[in-house]
Amino acid sequence: MAKILLFNPPGPEGKAYIREGRCTQESGVWATQWPPVTLATAAALLEKDGHKIKVIDFPAVKLNISDLQNVIISFKPDIAIWNTGTPTLIFDLNIAKIIKEIKQDIITCVLGTHVSVDSENVLNASSVDIVIRGEPELPIKNLCKEFPNNNWDKIHGISYKDKNNTKIFHNIDSLFLTPSEIPPPSWHYLDINAYKLPLKGRPFLILSPIRGCPFLCNFCTAQLYYGKKLRKRPIANVISEIENSIHKYKIRDFFIWADTFTADKKYVKEFCDQIIKKNLKISWTCNSRVDTIDKDILVIMNKAGLWMISFGLESGNDSILEQSGKNITIKQSKYAVISANEIGIKTSGHFIFGLLGETEKTMMETLSLALELPLDIAQFYTASPFPGTMLYDKATKNNWLENISSHSQSHSVINLPNLPAYKVDAFRQYAYKKFYFRKKAFLNILSMIEPKAIKNILSNIKGFLKWIIT
């Protein structure tokens, strides 16, 4: 059996970052640090095998690199496994060097969408021993089971260096966990009180009933992590997980983590029916496409505890939506947001500036849509060319990318024909100002803030206002 350290690393400059599947971003004003569901799920598999485990989310508990070094010294793990993200990639990979300087024989392993598609360069350019590609839990389980023999050639879903660091091997891809094999996360390794809803101030957990995404958005990395096929966990397992969270952790607030939770409306209805039948009295949010929703299912979801739904609206121009592979329409966006609003569900709209075909005119159309819709919250991003996406391939082929070592959805690095990156950045800032500097938007936010959240939300808003005014 092995001593295993699973962790979400500190961020550069002391900033907190979410590194979870397709979502790799800095915690923002309306965002919060998410409970690391991948690490907690991996821990659930590892503890069944009898390993000694420690799970730490360094940003959530406000620990830094020095604290990580102290953990390495005191815990002395055999294997260290951590999340990585595109915005923090260089920083994340350098952690392997820091660990090796303390204890050279620790096996260092990284996971994430970026390293999954760039494993050769990652292994060549860092002290990382193993890259865990794609959905990571099963490869992690099998990797740790091989300790101390370390016969890595048998393990699907990893890339690794030989023991002399002279050759890199890429094993075949791992199978995905079947829906019934996906365990509930072992949250007891983490400080649950470190995760608070930004507007509510109450602790929350992530619930992951569905994995996989069948849609073909050319800017998204979702399929690199969980694949294309929907894998729906048995409803009974998910309900049992909710009940356990209520009884063991006193948690009744959940964020449903699925790339498109509403892709199968029959499954969603069965899920909601069970919540209502068992009178669980929970409160939850989820993501959705606008073309997988209707008023009937929204009513049922609301009755089961849905209080906010986030829509990936992306653009206010149908041609941009088509070119991006999103394949929704403005008409569908309006129907979804208005329907949710009429039922009394709070809505959050997510928009991206700088997608393929974007111009200054189409960016203005997107902002106009954001201002027209009855949205409670709007998030504006820049199109980020994540490796493994068609957007990245096209930007690279056409020499549109700026010479950068890392990038995120808060800073444009694509110089489209007739639309330089700096104009996209400037418009994103302008969009935030136009959306939130309205009485209606202010009152919407005010109506959602609960007393427990006032202190933190005021601090976040202060920083947000400073940014958009400058």
Alpha carbons 338 and 91: distance in angstroms, whole number: 42
Alpha carbons 365 and 358: distance in angstroms, whole number: 10
Per-residue pLDDT, 436? 94
Q: Are residues 136 and 201 in the same domain?
A: no
Q: Are residues 276 and 132 in the same domain?
A: no
Beta bridge pairs of residue 79: 4, 107
Give the DSSP H or E segment for 206. Answer: strand 205-207
Q: What is the mean pLDDT of residues 211-227?
A: 94
Alpha carbons 129 and 111: distance in angstroms, whole number: 12
The better pLDDT of the pair 234, 409 is held by: 234
Q: Are residues 350 and 389 in the same domain?
A: yes
- Nearest Cα to 209, choosing from 270, 166, 157? 270
Show Cβ contacts of residue 440 under 8 Å, excluding neighbours closer than 6 positions: none
pLDDT > 90? residue 322: yes
Q: Are residues 258 and 148 in the same domain?
A: no
Question: Is beta strand 168-170 parallel, antiparallel or unpaired with respect to 158-161?
Answer: antiparallel
pLDDT > 70? residue 462: no
Per-residue pLDDT, 30? 54
Helices 454-469 & 421-436 angle (0-180, nearest 10): 130
434 within a domain of the structure (yes/no): yes
Q: Are residues 337 and 430 in the same domain?
A: yes
Domain extent at residue 166: 3-170
What is the percent of the chain where pLDDT is above 90? 83
Give the DSSP H or E segment for 231. Answer: strand 231-232
H-state helical runs in 148-260: 222-226, 235-249
Instruction: Identify each DSSP E strand in 121-182 by its residue range.
Output: 130-132, 158-161, 168-170
Per-residue pLDDT, 404? 72
Alpha carbons 302 and 294: distance in angstroms, whole number: 12
The better pLDDT of the pair 466, 279 is held by: 279
Query: How many domains does the chain fold into?
Result: 2
Alpha carbons 144 and 125: distance in angstroms, whole number: 24
Q: Are residues 294 and 251 in the same domain?
A: yes
Task: pLDDT band for 282, please (50, 70, 90 cuts).
Answer: very high
Q: What is the DSSP string of 347-403?
A: EEEEEEES-TT--HHHHHHHHHHHHHS--SEEEEEE----TTSHHHHHHHHTT-B-S
pLDDT > 70? residue 229: yes
Q: What is the mean pLDDT of residues 6-27?
A: 88
Q: What is the mean pLDDT of residues 250-277?
A: 96
Q: Are residues 387 and 301 in the same domain?
A: yes
List C-alpha distances in Å: 88 to 22, 62, 300, 407: 14, 17, 40, 8
Q: What is the mean pLDDT of residues 456-470?
A: 61
Q: Are residues 289 and 414 in the same domain?
A: yes
182 within a domain of the structure (yes/no): no
Q: Is the dihedral of CA 363, 368, 369, 375 positive or negative?
A: positive
pLDDT > 60? residue 469: no
Per-residue pLDDT, 434? 96
Task: pLDDT band for 29, please (50, 70, 90 cuts).
Answer: low
Q: Are residues 161 and 200 in the same domain?
A: no
Q: Are residues 283 and 352 in the same domain?
A: yes
Three-class DSSP category at 259: coil
pLDDT > 80? residue 459: no
* Least confident interval from 60-69, 329-338, 404-413, 430-439: 404-413
Beta bridge pairs of residue 346: 308
367 within a domain of the structure (yes/no): yes
How much helix, strand and coil, in percent to the nearest 5, is found in the chain?
45, 20, 35
Show Cβ contacts of residue 408 under 8 Å, excluding neighbours closer than 6 positions: 24, 25, 26, 86, 87, 384
pLDDT > 60? residue 263: yes
Per-residue pLDDT, 313? 98
Task: pLDDT band for 443, please (50, 70, 90 cuts).
Answer: confident
pLDDT tens per residue, range 339-385 = 999 999 999 999 999 999 999 999 999 999 999 999 999 999 999 99
221 within a domain of the structure (yes/no): yes
180 within a domain of the structure (yes/no): no
pLDDT tens per residue, range 117-151 = 999 999 999 999 999 999 999 999 999 999 999 99
Show Cβ contacts of residue 13 under 8 Å, excluding neighbours closer than 6 positions: none
CB atoms within 10 A of CB 62: 12
Q: Mean pLDDT in the chain?
A: 93
- The CATH number assigned to the domain holding 397 equals 3.80.30.20
pLDDT > 70? residue 467: no
Q: Are residues 239 and 348 in the same domain?
A: yes
190 within a domain of the structure (yes/no): no
Give the DSSP H or E segment for 111. Answer: strand 107-111
- The CATH number assigned to the domain holding 68 equals 3.40.50.280
Query: Position 436: which residue type?
Result: Y
Q: Are residues 366 and 459 in the same domain?
A: yes
- Nearest Cα to 5, choosing from 123, 135, 109, 146? 109
Cis status, amide bond into 77, omega within 30 of 0: no
93 within a domain of the structure (yes/no): yes
Dihedral (Cα; 418, 424, 430, 433), 10-degree rounding:
150
CB atoms within 10 A of CB 51: 19
Q: What is the DSSP string of 12-30?
A: GGG--EEEETTEEEE--SS
Task: pLDDT band for 155, please (50, 70, 90 cuts).
Answer: very high
Per-residue pLDDT, 145? 95
Alpha carbons 119 and 93: distance in angstroms, whole number: 12
Per-residue pLDDT, 112? 96
Task: pLDDT band for 16, please (50, 70, 90 cuts).
Answer: confident
- Nearest Cα to 229, choosing from 196, 264, 257? 264
187 within a domain of the structure (yes/no): no
Within 13 Å and on the Cβ side, how many CA atoms surround 177?
Answer: 26
Question: What pTM, to 2 d.p., does this model score?
Answer: 0.94
Alpha carbons 414 and 424: distance in angstroms, whole number: 9
Q: Please say whether the beta carbons of 157 and 139 come within 8 A.
A: yes
Alpha carbons 153 and 82: distance in angstroms, whole number: 21
Tell the burial category of 24 from Cβ atoms under 10 Å away from its Cβ (0-12, 13-18, 19+).
buried
> Tokens at residue 79, please?
């294997």
